[in-house]
Amino acid sequence: MIDYEKLAKYSAPVPRYTSYPTAPEFKDDWSLEDLRKHIERSNQSGRDLSIYFHLPFCRSACYFCGCNAIYTSKEELKDRYIGYLEREIAIMGERLNLKRRVAQIHFGGGTPTFFSAAQLGSIIAAIRAEFSNIDKNAEFGVEIDPRFFTEEQMKVLAEGGVNRISFGVQDFDLKVQEAVHRIQPYDLNARSVETARRYGVQSVNIDLLYGLPFQNAASFRRTIEQALQLGADRVALFNYAHMPWLKKTMRKIDETTIPSPAEKLKMLQIAVELFGAGGFEMIGMDHFAKPNDELCVALKEGKLHRNFQGYSTHKGCDLFGFGVTSISEGEDFYAQNFRDKDDYEIAIDAAKPPVMRGVSLDSDDRLRKRVIMGLMSLFALEFAEIEREFNIEFESYFADALSALSALEADGLLSVANRRIEASATGRLLIRNIAMHFDKYLKKSGALERRFSKSV
């Protein structure tokens, strides 16, 4: 049973932990020499690769969007960008062993399908030409905006090996859609899902947002009922984080129309009930999936993993990101590309990896990353496993964290017993609040309010 009063009590700005250390800890003076050493170690490990391509263009801004998107109607920008992506792969190929097995490919954005079918085909061809060992069962996912999605594009994507699609939906209510500058009728979404299925896409995800202007419990109930009719395998239900001081487009949202925290909790409650009744299981703090979906299976088998794209079944890959703003992640480092397209192009013109900042993980970071990501993915943690992997004594190393968790235990968010932490149903929704006690940087960083979104 979820205790919604406790959710209200613990709703506070907390990192989402798509990385540890979190992005504010990445260092601007991290050098290309650092990157070279980490890639060398990554090559020596022979771990599988996960490769991410950021396709940043959108026709216009959705006011809720927190992505790093470039709004344009200039067609020529896209061909130019593809050229730079190809050159970036070649530059990275001088360091990264491109013959390593690729287990996962992902196109994110922006709007990947803002690129034409022919352009998407040429990006896939460039990837396949350079990465010579893409597993035939590789998970190949694309984020799609149904407003820019044609059958011709789906055909090219399917021929290129795409087998996972995530559709951005957000809400079906016209008043909400108008307020966020994204008109997307239900039928358009239904046709998009049907097209993906016709081309054999095994896994369809839809993204929904709660906390948008004019949403309320009654309107959101209708949205979820419609969402269930789409027949998706997974649903990502995100809490809209209104942070206009970070994202200019959010300033276009009239704050007086944003639902109150109490109304948002009602929406979350409705979502949990309706998705549960509709045959979905709750995966993580904001994901639902059908029981036979591989995310559900991975959670039950203890193989669920979390990275910058969210939850994944591919534990043990090194992630390399291409394109503006993209992030790479190895066992002992994170590196982020330039966010600004001009800076990105200048680096590539100089034949350098377009890396803007990064961080090298020391042994304490790696240990804490393992603990935090373990909790975020599996909602439980065995002390003995961590002790085996890191040669520490868990209770003494994390005495502070365990002592802080006792208050959360008293509130029913988790149990600590038999040398194991296990989150309750309520604690699963507040897993960020549990994980944060293992974050060494949080205490010193301050300014939580302005840097991170609220947990619920």
Q: Which is nearer to ligand SF4, 36 or 59 (CB)?
A: 59
Rounded to an integer, what distance in angstroms lies between the CA atom of residue 433 and that of residue 401?
A: 12
Q: Does 110 bind ligand SF4 (CB under 6 A)?
A: yes
Rounded to an integer, what distance in angstroms lies between the CA atom of residue 51 and that of residue 140?
A: 10
Q: Does 77 bind ligand SF4 (CB under 6 A)?
A: no
Q: Which is nearer to ligand SF4, 168 or 213 (CB)?
A: 168
Q: Which is nearer to ligand SF4, 69 or 157 (CB)?
A: 69
Query: Half-sphere exposure of 319 toward its Cβ, with a 13 Å CA cutoff?
Result: 25
**Which one among 22, 42, 50, 111 touches ligand SF4, defined by CB under 6 A?**
111
Q: Does 326 bind ligand SF4 (CB under 6 A)?
A: no
Residues 3-32 that bind ligand SF4 (CB under 6 A): none
Q: Does 196 bind ligand SF4 (CB under 6 A)?
A: no
**Which one among 2, 12, 23, 67 touches ligand SF4, defined by CB under 6 A?**
67
> Which phi and psi angles does 198 have, rounded to 5°?
-60, -30
Q: Does 108 bind ligand SF4 (CB under 6 A)?
A: no
Do residues 257 and 213 make contact, with C-beta atoms less than 8 angstroms apart? yes
Q: Does 145 bind ligand SF4 (CB under 6 A)?
A: yes
The radius of gyration computed from the CA coordinates of the chain, to the nearest angstrom, equals 21
Rounded to an integer, what distance in angstroms lies between the CA atom of residue 251 and that of residue 242?
A: 9
Rounded to an integer, what distance in angstroms lies between the CA atom of residue 125 and that of residue 121?
A: 6
Q: Does 250 bind ligand SF4 (CB under 6 A)?
A: no
239: which strand partners? 210
> What is the smallest separation between the CB atom of 2 and ligand SF4, expressed in angstroms?
28
Judged by CB under 6 A, which stretch of 57-65, 94-102, 150-158, 340-348 contacts ligand SF4?
A: 57-65
Judged by CB under 6 A, which stretch of 62-70, 337-345, 367-375, 443-451 contacts ligand SF4?
A: 62-70
> What is the smallest separation between the CB atom of 236 and ligand SF4, expressed in angstroms?
13
Rounded to an integer, what distance in angstroms lies between the CA atom of residue 432 and that of residue 443?
A: 15
Judged by CB under 6 A, which stretch of 64-72, 275-283, 347-355, 395-403 contacts ligand SF4?
A: 64-72
236: which strand partners? 207, 287
Judged by CB under 6 A, which stretch of 47-55, 107-115, 157-165, 197-205 contacts ligand SF4?
A: 107-115
Q: Does 62 bind ligand SF4 (CB under 6 A)?
A: yes
Judged by CB under 6 A, which stretch of 59-67, 184-192, 213-221, 229-237 contacts ligand SF4?
A: 59-67
Rounded to an integer, what distance in angstroms lies between the CA atom of residue 396 and that of residue 218?
A: 49
> What is the smallest separation between the CB atom of 63 and ligand SF4, expressed in angstroms?
8
What is the three-class DSSP state of 79? helix
Q: Does 209 bind ligand SF4 (CB under 6 A)?
A: no
Rounded to an integer, what distance in angstroms lies between the CA atom of residue 407 and that of residue 29?
A: 39
Q: Considering only CA atoms, which of 131, 153, 133 is closest in space to residue 142?
A: 153
> What is the smallest separation between the CB atom of 315 and ligand SF4, expressed in angstroms?
28
Q: Does 144 bind ligand SF4 (CB under 6 A)?
A: no
Residues 342-381 that bind ligand SF4 (CB under 6 A): none
Rounded to an integer, what distance in angstroms lies between the CA atom of residue 284 and that of residue 299?
A: 9
DSSP per-residue string spanning 87-110: HHHHHHHTTS-TTSPEEEEEEEES
**Which one among 7, 35, 39, 65 touches ligand SF4, defined by CB under 6 A?**
65
Q: Which is nearer to ligand SF4, 108 or 259 (CB)?
A: 108
DSSP per-residue string spanning 125-188: HHHHHH---EEEEEEEEEEE-GGG--HHHHHHHHHTT--EEEEEEE---HHHHHHTT----HHH
Q: Does 184 bind ligand SF4 (CB under 6 A)?
A: no
Do residues 248 and 240 make contact, with C-beta atoms less than 8 angstroms apart? no
Binding site for ligand SF4 (CB under 6 A): 58, 61-62, 65, 67, 69, 109-111, 145, 168
